Structure 1
């Protein structure tokens, strides 16, 4: 094969390779002819004139994200770092503007974001920055969209993804938050303690009321039982005084027996002779007689107010023991 033919084949191959080219999906390229813009080519197999046309630039048509950190000061003089994420895309009908209008579109977007954030944040206090971060993002999107649309860029969305105050400020905010939570916890604990005290007092009051009612019922039943016992003894010919003596002596020995049966009771010294029971009965009868006489004196004084008080004095101050009492 002649050398000239080989050279011709090689040249034809080089020309063919420089004529055909491919463009990736979601990408656009700019073709320049003699260093002047000629056309925009989209994805797929494309052709150009070798040695005359050249691929000047390529640009992605996919959604891109640019993260920008802006340090500024709030209204209450707190330095804070704001992280803003800008999502943008190149408009297909404005690829020429996106390639030839701006040399570095990322720096241009960053400049607009800095300008908007540093204009909005100094109007707010630190707490308002956290609360109104969506308003900040909307303001950034509006300003950047108006500025970048003429250059072929469409701002999809802007997000304030991070608000980072100074370390000392964050520590102070954490202490304030902890103090507030401790205050609320103390209030709840105090309310709980108060409720427990009130409920305990109510329970104790109810317990005392029921205990007093029980004691009253017990004494009422004891009195009713004594009356019934005296009535039964009267029916068999025993006088009320004899019946009272018999009941006192019986209860005296019942008490001694109950104390002796309870092994856990404390030591109690009581007189255990029949004469002691008789003395107790005499004391009770004397008290009853004295109270009855006092009541009679009050009644007579109301009926005869001109009589001297000495006329109503009792002539006997005690009841002598009878033979029948000594029997008990």
Structure 2
């Protein structure tokens, strides 16, 4: 074997080694799959579901297995949708909804439903119309939280076979047609007017009650004052009567004389120049009062 034959042999073996190394590298490249944290990969073998690869490093059989679907497991939001619905009291409303969901089991999602977003949107629209049709307009407006919970529960049941979890379902707005809005505005204004009239009537009633209470209180106080004055006068009369009974006519003359003296004193205490007419027996009255007072002391 000459040098050319040896070189040819060595060259052929090197090519084989290079091809073998390339094949091994290709197998490693095809057999090792690194899945991101936010994804799951669906692996098929000969066209059938074989495995679901989770986040991290995974190994598959090269040339036999292939990653057929790469599914994001992040939470998704459907575009806001509007659908018409009729309440049980025959009012047409336009409901705007928003739904959030995420895929939990991609092997069920990719083989059972083609358009996930469209399917969920259609399901939500049907459920919203059905649930609002069971309620009156006032209930839709006042029990929105309860309605949202019912819609979310029904949507979850409907999409459970698709390996999907509905995380949130929101009713963003409930719009009414112009005629219904005007009718509701008139009703609201009428209710406000009624409440204002009731409040005014209650205020007038309360004012009348307070005035009556004030008049009653004033009458009670006047009667009380008169009773006290009457009691005082009766007491004074009783004292005079007792004095007359004890001292006889002398006590009565003393009271009369004392009143005359008080009257003359008051007349003389007036302002300006005055002419005082003194009865003929005034001096006698002073004398009698003095003598009686002295006698009593």
TM-score above 0.5, yes or no: yes
Q: Distance in 2 between matches of 1:90 and 1:159?
A: 17
Consecutive unaligned residues of structure 2, counting only runs of 5 or more, are 1-10, 286-297
Deviations 1:218-262 (A, max 9, x none): 2442454366458758948658578446425525744886x97xx
Q: Distance in 1 between matches of 2:136 and 2:24?
A: 71
Task: Name the CA shift for 1:255/1:325 in 2 (closer, same or farther; >3 Å).
Answer: closer
Q: How does 1:1-328 map to 2 (within 5 A)?
A: 12-25=24-37, 27-33=39-45, 36-43=47-54, 44-50=56-62, 53-61=65-73, 66=78, 68-75=80-87, 76-85=90-99, 87=101, 89-91=103-105, 95-131=106-142, 133=144, 134-135=146-147, 137-138=149-150, 141-142=153-154, 145-146=157-158, 148-150=159-161, 152-155=162-165, 159-166=169-176, 180=191, 183-184=194-195, 187-188=198-199, 190-222=201-233, 224-225=235-236, 228=239, 235=247, 238=250, 240=252, 243-244=255-256, 246-247=258-259, 250-251=262-263, 253-254=265-266, 273-274=276-277, 324=281
Report the number of matched residues: 265
Q: Give the 3-state SS of the residue equivalent to 2:91 in structure 1.
A: coil
Greater displacement, 62-71 / 230-239? 230-239
Consecutive unaligned residues of structure 1, counting only runs of 5 or more, are 261-268, 279-322
Structure 2 partner of 1:295: none
Q: Give the 3-state SS of the residue equivalent to 1:29 in structure 2.
A: strand
Greater displacement, 12-21 / 103-112? 12-21
CA deviation after TM superposition for structure 1 residue 22, in Å: 1.7
Q: Distance in 2 between matches of 1:227 and 1:248?
A: 21
CA deviation after TM superposition for structure 1 residue 110, in Å: 0.9
Q: Give the 3-state SS of the residue equivalent to 1:198 in structure 2.
A: helix
The two structures have a TM-score, normalised by structure 1, of 0.59
CA deviation after TM superposition for structure 1 residue 55, in Å: 1.6
Task: Name the CA shift for 1:170/1:164 in 2 (closer, same or farther; >3 Å).
Answer: farther
Question: Does the CA-based 8 Å contact 2:96-2:173 persist in structure 1?
Answer: yes
Task: Name the CA shift for 1:325/1:110 in 2 (closer, same or farther; >3 Å).
Answer: same
Q: Distance in 1 between matches of 2:85 and 2:249?
A: 111
- After superposition, the CA RMSD in angstroms is 4.6
